[in-house]
């Protein structure tokens, strides 16, 4: 940084090149908009590092207390995809995505540290001092019945030389096959899609996400802002993705158009052969 005799800077604070001639009453500090944006992002990152300091993890845990860990992981993955797309296209990174990348990993790591000590303490309790509840936990982990004092004669080996099946307790839950998706007709699927409405998601304050929910409670998908624009907010439209899917489609100009495309995509999936 170089300062002239009048106390004004002569070089850019970011890249160090000579500043162009001053055109207005305010002294210039950067040579271009790109350097000005780079300095702004640097200040934002410093503020984010201060907010996610180890001593302030409790505040982050309270802020995200009602958000499930799976939903936090989805938001983190979406932010990472948007950042990767911006880097590949040579666009500046979005401040909102940077904030998600800074805060969400801290919350997930703090939750994991809170859960680990309880499980570790359970395994460190001596057998002689365990409570009946701990003994029940042991029985659930090893459902095989205790060995009898008198051993019965070994069973004769079968022809296929396979070992005897392991005994199962009488109250063990029966295994069930996963439920198969029920195929809907075009008329039924369109009736569900026509009744769908956009509702603010549980984490709308952080992600600005909208849920597309039908009258019967079926969640068709999600509508999220698309980032990568050159405006002040960095948005360039809206994306949509179906429930239980990480595939994002878009961007579309309006939120309503993205919701309509999400409903049409859901109809195609609901009416497809199982």
Residue 84 lies in a domain: yes
Q: Looking at 68-77, 109-118, 121-130, which range is the least confident one?
A: 121-130
* 50 and 18 within one domain: no
Percent of the chain with pLDDT over 90: 19
Q: Where is the domain boundary, 66, 88, 116?
A: 116
pLDDT tens-digit map of 73-86: 888 888 888 888 88
Whether residue 112 sits in one domain with residue 45: yes
Residues 6 and 79 in one domain: no
Asked if the structure places residue 56 within a domain, the reply is yes
Is the model's pLDDT at 227 over the cut of 80?
Answer: yes
Range picked from 18-22, 92-96, 200-204 for highest mean pLDDT? 200-204
Any domain includes 57: yes
Residues 44 and 27 reside in one and the same domain: no
Q: Is residue 131 part of a domain?
A: no
Residues 58 and 3 reside in one and the same domain: no
Residues 109 and 42 grouped into a single domain: yes
72, part of any domain: yes
Q: Which domain holds residue 112?
A: 37-116
- Clarify whether residues 77 and 13 are in a common domain: no
**Considering the domain boundaries, does residue 240 fall inside one?**
yes
Domain stops at, among 116, 147, 168: 116
Task: Tell me the HSE value of 9 on the side-chain side, using a 13 A CA sphere.
Answer: 15
In this structure, the answer to whether residues 18 and 60 fall within a common structural domain is no
Is there a domain that residue 82 lies in?
yes
Residue 163 in any domain: the answer is: no
**Domain co-membership, 25 together with 41:** no
Higher pLDDT, 26 or 265: 265
Number of domains in the chain: 3
Last residue of a domain, one of 82, 116, 150: 116
Q: Within this chain, do residues 207 and 241 fall inside the same structural domain, yes or no?
A: yes
Q: What is the mean pLDDT of residues 142-166?
A: 53
Domain co-membership, 22 together with 42: no
Same domain, 90 and 57: yes
């Amino acid at each position: 940084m170089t300062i002239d005799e009048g106390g004004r800077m002569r070089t850019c604070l970011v890249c160090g090149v000579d500043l162009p001639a001053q055109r207005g009453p305010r002294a210039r500090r950067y040579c271009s908009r790109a350097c000005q944006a780079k300095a702004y992002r640097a200040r934002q990152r410093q503020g984010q590092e201060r907010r996610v300091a180890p001593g302030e993890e409790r505040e982050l845990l309270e802020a995200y207390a009602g958000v499930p860990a799976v939903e936090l992981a989805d938001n983190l993955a979406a932010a990472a995809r948007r950042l990767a797309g911006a880097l590949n296209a040579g666009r500046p990174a979005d401040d909102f995505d940077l904030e998600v990348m800074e805060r969400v990993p801290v919350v997930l790591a703090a939750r994991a540290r809170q859960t680990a000590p309880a499980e570790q303490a359970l395994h460190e309790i001596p057998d002689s001092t365990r409570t009946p509840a701990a003994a029940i936990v042991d029985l659930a982990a090893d459902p095989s019945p205790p060995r009898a004092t008198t051993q019965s004669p070994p069973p004769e080996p079968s022809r296929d030389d396979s070992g005897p099946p392991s005994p199962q307790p009488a109250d063990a839950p029966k295994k069930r096959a996963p439920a198969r998706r029920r195929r809907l007709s075009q008329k039924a699927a369109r009736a569900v899609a026509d009744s769908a409405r956009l509702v603010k998601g549980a984490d709308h304050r952080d992600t600005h996400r909208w849920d597309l929910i039908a009258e019967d409670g079926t969640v068709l998908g999600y509508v999220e802002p698309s980032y990568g624009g050159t405006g002040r907010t960095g948005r360039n439209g809206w994306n949509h993705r179906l429930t239980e899917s990480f595939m994002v489609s878009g961007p579309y100009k309006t939120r309503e158009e993205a919701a309509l495309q999400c409903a049409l995509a859901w109809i195609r999936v609901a009416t497809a052969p199982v």
